[in-house]
């Protein structure tokens, strides 16, 4: 679909065809790439047909929604957990791994939109939990919100390697996370707690321990805290992978640590599922702005807010592949 090693994460969803169809930039449909023939390899409902039937307009554009803040907790003026209430339709769609949303203070314009991982979606209460690192203007203004937020989503490509997750039912997975990587880690643990046995190793040296513990409360996993800069701790992780023969290893950290653990896995000939967080810059989430665009080795430009691939395809030999 759309190439030899990637597919569009939105293809076939309620948001397809999207804005890219309007400018012949669809990642999947050759007709919506300006060609006069179909050669898309997509086995689902025809995207071009959907585009024509929808009067050559996009389907279900993601619009700004005003939501109520139901809880806010700030840690050391550097980190926060924000919980807001939404409707049943959205709370169901926010629960999937890799989901993120754009958020801003309702008193600000759209230029303050900031992409934030959905940490947990409680579809019983319709409450959505997000973890935020307070860095600069956008996140500071976001945390200043008192009663309401403006959100836009859901967006689906916060994690690379989603296909591995779908293929390891009743298996065992190791999650390695550092700092704000806790948010996507919690999402996976909450979503797959009935189907997977999970071990979590977190490096929380740069975040308040109370923040980490509050985020991880009620997560059904064997949780340990290690230092990813410590050689002894890295050897411990390597031994654990050799011992438990995980069906998948997920790394939610910066590119530096994704490369580090990718090389560790190569050194022990680990050849199963490799899952990573998407660290490409996100600005619009729709593939329009170009902030996340990357050029492949064969010269093809892909939009990483939509481009879903296996974690091992993002990194080859410890370097960015695309």
The residues, any chain, with a CB within 8 Å of residue 294's CB and separated by 6 or more, are 280, 301, 302, 304, 307, 320, 322
The residues, any chain, with a CB within 8 Å of residue 168's CB and separated by 6 or more, are 196, 247, 248, 273
Same-domain check for residues 70 and 48: no
- How many Å apart are CA 320 and CA 322, to the nearest integer? 6
**Res 22 pLDDT > 90:** yes
Same-domain check for residues 139 and 87: yes
Q: How confident is the model at residue 194 (pLDDT cuts 50, 70, 90)?
A: confident
Identify whether 48 is part of a domain: yes
Identify whether 315 is part of a domain: no
- How many Å apart are CA 283 and CA 289, to the nearest integer? 7
Same-domain check for residues 106 and 206: no
Same-domain check for residues 138 and 207: no
Identify whether 297 is part of a domain: no
**Res 318 pLDDT > 60:** no
The residues, any chain, with a CB within 8 Å of residue 264's CB and separated by 6 or more, are 234, 237, 238, 241
Looking at the structure of the chain, the number of domains it has is 3
Identify whether 293 is part of a domain: no
Range 83-88 average pLDDT: 96
**Percentage, residues of the chain above pLDDT 90:** 78
Q: What is the pLDDT of residues 133-189, one digit of tens each?
A: 999 999 999 999 999 999 999 999 999 998 888 878 788 999 999 999 999 999 999
- How many Å apart are CA 69 and CA 140, to the nearest integer? 16
Output the pLDDT for position 315: 64
Same-domain check for residues 70 and 119: yes
Output the pLDDT for position 321: 54
Same-domain check for residues 83 and 190: no
Q: How confident is the model at residue 314 (pLDDT cuts 50, 70, 90)?
A: confident
Same-domain check for residues 104 and 214: no
Same-domain check for residues 169 and 273: yes
Output the pLDDT for position 320: 55
Identify whether 60 is part of a domain: no
Q: Which pTM does this prediction carry?
A: 0.91
**Res 42 pLDDT > 70:** yes
Kindly tell me the burial class for residue 282, based on how many C-beta atoms sit within 10 Å of its own C-beta (0-12, 13-18, 19 or more): buried
Nearest in space to 287 (alpha carbons), one of 277, 302, 266, 274 = 302
Output the pLDDT for position 184: 95
Identify whether 310 is part of a domain: no
Identify whether 308 is part of a domain: no
Same-domain check for residues 163 and 224: yes
Identify whether 245 is part of a domain: yes
For residue 102, what are the domain limits?
65-155
């Amino acid at each position: 679909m759309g190439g030899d090693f990637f597919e569009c994460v939105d293809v076939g969803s309620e948001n397809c065809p999207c804005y890219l169809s309007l400018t012949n930039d669809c990642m999947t449909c050759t007709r919506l790439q300006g060609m006069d023939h179909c050669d898309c390899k997509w086995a689902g409902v025809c995207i071009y047909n959907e585009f024509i039937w929808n009067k050559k307009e996009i389907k279900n554009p993601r619009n700004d929604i005003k939501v109520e803040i139901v809880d806010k907790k700030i840690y050391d003026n550097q980190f926060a957990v924000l919980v807001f209430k939404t409707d049943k339709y959205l709370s169901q769609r926010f629960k999937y791994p890799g989901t993120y949303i754009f958020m801003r203070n309702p008193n600000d314009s759209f230029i303050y939109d900031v992409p934030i991982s959905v940490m947990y979606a409680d579809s019983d209460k319709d409450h959505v939990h997000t973890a935020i690192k307070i860095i600069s203007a956008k996140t500071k203004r976001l945390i200043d919100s008192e009663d309401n937020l403006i959100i836009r989503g859901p967006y689906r490509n916060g994690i690379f390697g989603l296909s591995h997750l779908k293929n390891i039912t009743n298996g065992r997975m190791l999650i390695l996370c550092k700092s704000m990587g806790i948010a996507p880690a919690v999402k996976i643990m909450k979503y797959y707690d009935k189907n997977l046995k999970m071990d979590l190793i977190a490096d929380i040296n740069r975040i308040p321990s109370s923040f980490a513990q509050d985020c991880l409360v009620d997560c059904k996993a064997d949780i340990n805290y290690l230092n990813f800069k410590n050689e002894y701790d890295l050897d411990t992780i390597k031994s654990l992978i050799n011992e438990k023969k995980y069906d998948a290893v997920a790394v939610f950290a910066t590119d530096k640590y994704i490369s580090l653990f990718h090389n560790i896995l190569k050194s022990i000939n680990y050849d199963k599922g490799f899952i990573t967080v998407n660290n490409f810059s996100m600005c619009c989430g729709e593939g329009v702005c170009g902030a996340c665009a990357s050029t492949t080795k064969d010269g093809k430009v892909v939009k990483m807010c939509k481009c879903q691939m296996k974690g091992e395809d993002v990194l080859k030999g410890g370097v960015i592949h695309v």
